[in-house]
Amino acid sequence: MLRDRTVQGLTVALVVLLVASFFVPSWIVNQMLFASARAIAVIGLMVLWRTRLVSFGHALYFGLGAYTVAMVSRYTPVTDAFLLLGAAAALATLLGFLIGFIIRRYRDIFFAMLNLAFSMILYGILVKTEALGSTDGFTIAAPTFFGMAFEDAQEGKVALLCVLLVVGWAVAVGVQMYLQSTLGRLTTAIRDNEIRVEYLGYSVERAIHIKYVLSALLAGIGGGFMALALGQVDPDSMVNWTASGELVFVTILSGPGSVAAPFIGSFVFEILRTYAFEWMPHAWQMIVGGTLLVIIFFMPGGMWALVTRLAGQRAAGGAPGMER
């Protein structure tokens, strides 16, 4: 059994990225913002995936988080990023908790599609409701940070990135600790044999419900950050099934090997999409789709498998934070 160095690795990465965020060009800051926001949501999907549960509808919570930030910012005097994100997290958690009572009874394609069904209900409400911005959505004013406002937009983005990196680090470390706990380690056990888990005296439905609420919370936080990073929300980029598909895409691209993987996978996804769009503006989806095929056929462990291979570590059980 190798010593797990995930937390140390994440901490070093945090320090490096915090320092780098002050020096990198603005387009990289933007990419890091979008990638890190999406990565937080993907960590939640990764927890579900380890239990062999795939959700095609987590844009429900991602979009809910984004719209909560937007609505609170628009209709109340609250401008503080932490309060806005707190509201996004709370609402996504509450909805995940309630829907979880239904979802936890389903597996496989039913689990995936039920999530999609719920997300499309929210999408339908958003596009048909004028007060919620309808199909156009609406813009969000730049947030403050503990009362501190940045007049320079770029400075504001760097400040948001610093907050996002710290929150991303805390989420990754928290989820890593969860995955090492008895409850977290049940991901593999449930995936292997639900009957045995029940006969050992633990409710599989409860374990799945907890994982589901965790994933909803993380998607809500991710969506909240994405709304602040973009400065606007709209149903198509936040709640539509394509947004859920992007989250699943990044989950597969990242691989389930480590809580650090979603950050790498998400950044690669942002770069890939940007350059694919620049190169083939009308057919960029072909490049993204082709990449997914390559990943599935040749690298089922995702980017993390590549990272561990490059680092010269044994892929099976040896990588930091790796779980069978």
Does 191 help bind other proteins (rule: CB under 8 A)? yes
Q: Which two tokens stand for residue 186?
A: 């049940």
| Nearer to other proteins among residue 22 and residue 101 (C-beta) | 101
Q: Which stretch binds other proteins (CB under 8 A): 129-137, 201-209, 211-219, 226-234?
A: 201-209
Q: Which stretch binds other proteins (CB under 8 A): 89-97, 100-108, 127-135, 179-187?
A: 179-187
| Nearer to other proteins among residue 195 and residue 293 (C-beta) | 195
Q: Which stretch binds other proteins (CB under 8 A): 103-111, 187-195, 221-229, 298-306?
A: 187-195
Does 189 help bind other proteins (rule: CB under 8 A)? yes
Amino acid at 206: R
Question: Tell me, what DSSP letter sits at residue 322?
Answer: -
Amino acid at 247: L
> Which sign does the torsion angle of CA 277, 278, 283, 286 carry?
negative
CB of 302: closest distance to other proteins in angstroms?
18
Does 188 help bind other proteins (rule: CB under 8 A)? yes
Residue 259 · residue 172 · CB < 8 Å: yes
Q: Which stretch binds other proteins (CB under 8 A): 121-129, 148-156, 174-182, 260-268?
A: 174-182
Residue 114 CB neighbours (<10 A): 18
- Pattern 120-159, binding to other proteins, x per CB under 8 A? ----------------------------------------
Does 74 help bind other proteins (rule: CB under 8 A)? no
| Nearer to other proteins among residue 183 and residue 271 (C-beta) | 183
Binder among 198, 290, 294, 318 for other proteins (CB under 8 A): 198
Distances (CA, A) of 68 to 84, 91, 114, 238: 8, 8, 22, 12
| Nearer to other proteins among residue 39 and residue 43 (C-beta) | 43
Residue 38 · residue 208 · CB < 8 Å: no
CA 27 to chain centroid, in Å, comes to: 21
206-265 binders of other proteins (CB under 8 A): none
CB of 186: closest distance to other proteins in angstroms?
7
With contacts defined by CB under 8 A, how many residues of the chain interact with other proteins? 24
Binder among 25, 77, 152, 195 for other proteins (CB under 8 A): 195
CB of 174: closest distance to other proteins in angstroms?
11
| Nearer to other proteins among residue 95 and residue 186 (C-beta) | 186
Residues comprising the chain, all counted: 324
3-state secondary structure of 235: helix
> Which sign does the torsion angle of CA 259, 263, 264, 268 carry?
positive
> Which sign does the torsion angle of CA 134, 121, 37, 269 carry?
negative
Amino acid at 202: Y
Does 7 help bind other proteins (rule: CB under 8 A)? no
Find the helix or strand (DSSP H, E) in which 232 lies. Answer: strand 232-233
Beta strands in 9-146 (DSSP E): 138-139
Q: Which stretch binds other proteins (CB under 8 A): 33-41, 121-129, 191-199, 258-266?
A: 191-199
Residue 47 · residue 262 · CB < 8 Å: no
CB of 152: closest distance to other proteins in angstroms?
43
Does 76 help bind other proteins (rule: CB under 8 A)? no
Residue environment code for 13-41, b if the CB has 16+ CB neighbours within 10 A, otherwise e: bbeebeeebeeeeeeebbbbbbbbbbbbb
Torsions phi, psi of 283, nearest 5? -140, 30
Does 199 help bind other proteins (rule: CB under 8 A)? yes
Residues that bind other proteins (CB under 8 A): 177-178, 180-186, 188-189, 191-193, 195-203, 324
